[in-house]
Structure 1
Amino acid sequence: MRQYHAAEHKVFSYKANNKRKNLSMNGASAVNRNCSTNLVVLYFLFLFLIFAVLWPILSFEKSLSISSYVAAAGGLLLQRWLIKHPSSRMRGLILKISYFAQENITTASPGPLHTSTALRAYHGLFQTK
């Protein structure tokens, strides 16, 4: 699964040249600034911060429950804000963490099967019936 994720990123890194069928994506990056990993990073950052504030005053279960819901909403709102403010320092920090996660956790070097599948899927998006 991680290899398909990396192949998808590589396709979008080369999307301007994707009209060619035999596209070589060897030089394409498997890291993508618009990856949903950013949202996951935001969620867990919010979760840990809110939980750290609530746990001293509430039970573990109550703190975790509240933190989970607030982190989901907060992560979505902050993600939208970060998209609208691309030059913010906070976005730079979030992207550094997200890039680390993408490089070391959520993607792996794709093989020919993964890249050809990603290319077929990408081309399929633009075919009209």
Structure 2
Amino acid sequence: MIQGLSYRHGIFFFRIGEGIAHATYRDGAVKTRFLPWSWAGVGFIASRVLFTLPWYMWALAALIFLLRLPLYLLFLLGAGYHFLFPRSLRQYHGAEHKVFSYRGAVDLYNLREIADADIVNRGCSTNSVSQLFLVFLLLAPFVGGWWALGAAGLCMALVPRLARPFETRVLFPISAWLQRRVTTAAPSEEHLRTAILAYRSLIVGRAIPEDEYV
């Protein structure tokens, strides 16, 4: 199964146990890279995501420590980053979703059609994050933060499997609304080109330079 991950400066597409494709837009062109699935590859993903977090995420994390606030707030801050994405990340996230939604061949030749694809993704992590916050906010006043967070995590794992109709009819519409208005933004052509070339690189198993299309 192909999975995607966007960050401030680019996009990853990967198959666990197989390979990782990365693309970023730099100096007026898309730069691509393909890595085998390995600890080094996973570390590359983690470093790109972690070290491109905006300053306000680091400031909020520091504030939690300085004020000696409950440490479960760090988990909520990490999940809540979805609702604080900088615009460039929201655009890459939107491009990632459009690639997943498009039913034809994901290729630069079909860029215009991909641009018209749905920006909502059924498998987006916004689904899990919105559910986590919903359960946490409902339970925290009664059982405390840590218990509420644990229950929310358990629900994230069990509800899609054991309560699929409820997840489909109630929870997913909330996520879809958030995806359209909060966690994604309409991508520009550079974001779409980046997403397409990352996806193509994963499919063929090698980095595809943009100039192959010139």
Q: Provide the TM-score with structure 1 as the length reference.
A: 0.80
Shift of 1:68: 1.1
Report Cα offsets for 1:38-93 as digits up to 9, x if no partner. 00111111111221332xxxxxxxx01211122112212213335xx3xx144211
- The question of 1:22 aligning with 2:109 is answered yes
Find 2:148's aligned residue among 67, 76, 83: 67
Tell me if the contact between 1:46 and 1:75 (Cα under 8 Å) persists in the aligned partners: no
Checking the alignment, whether the CA contact within 8 Å between 2:106 and 2:196 is kept in structure 1 is: no
- d(CA) in 2 for partners of 1:106 and 1:5? 7
C-alpha deviation, 1:101, in angstroms: 0.5
155, 159, 162: which one aligns with 1:81: 162
Q: Secondary structure at the match of 1:125?
A: helix
User: Match for 1:17: what amino acid?
Assistant: G
Aligned positions, number? 116
Separation in structure 2 between the aligned mates of residue 89 and residue 79 of structure 1, nearest angstrom: 8
CA change 1:90–1:128 in 2 (3 A) is: closer
Contact between 1:30 and 1:107, CA under 8 Å: does it hold in 2? yes
Contact 1:47-1:71 within 8 A present in 2 as well: yes
Pair 1:102 & 2:179 matched: yes
Whole-Å Cα distance in 2 between the matches of residues 81 and 122 of structure 1?
32
Q: Does 1:7 align with 2:84?
A: no
Which runs of no fewer than 5 residues in structure 1 stay unpaired? Answer: 55-62
Q: Which of 193, 201, 212 lines up with 1:124 in the alignment? A: 201
- 1:33, distance to aligned residue in structure 2 (A): 1.4
Aligned equivalents of 2:203, 2:93: Cα separation in 1: 20
Residues 23-38 of structure 1 mapped to structure 2, 5 A cutoff: 23=110, 24=112, 25-38=114-127
Contact conserved, 1:6 with 1:30, CA < 8 A, in 2? yes
User: How far apart are residue 19 of structure 1 and its match?
Assistant: 4.7
Looking at secondary structure, tell me which structure has more strand per residue.
2
Distance 1:79 1:3 in 2: 27
Q: Distance in 2 between matches of 1:74 and 1:90?
A: 11
Q: Runs (4+) of structure 1 moved beyond 6 Å?
A: none
Identify the range of structure 1 (70-79 vs 107-116) with the bigger mean alpha-carbon deviation.
Answer: 70-79
The root-mean-square deviation of aligned C-alpha atoms, in Å, is 1.7
Q: Distance in 2 between matches of 1:20 and 1:4?
A: 17
CA distance in 2, matches of 1:39, 1:128: 30
Secondary structure of 1:109 counterpart: coil
- The aligned residue for residue 39 of structure 1 is 128
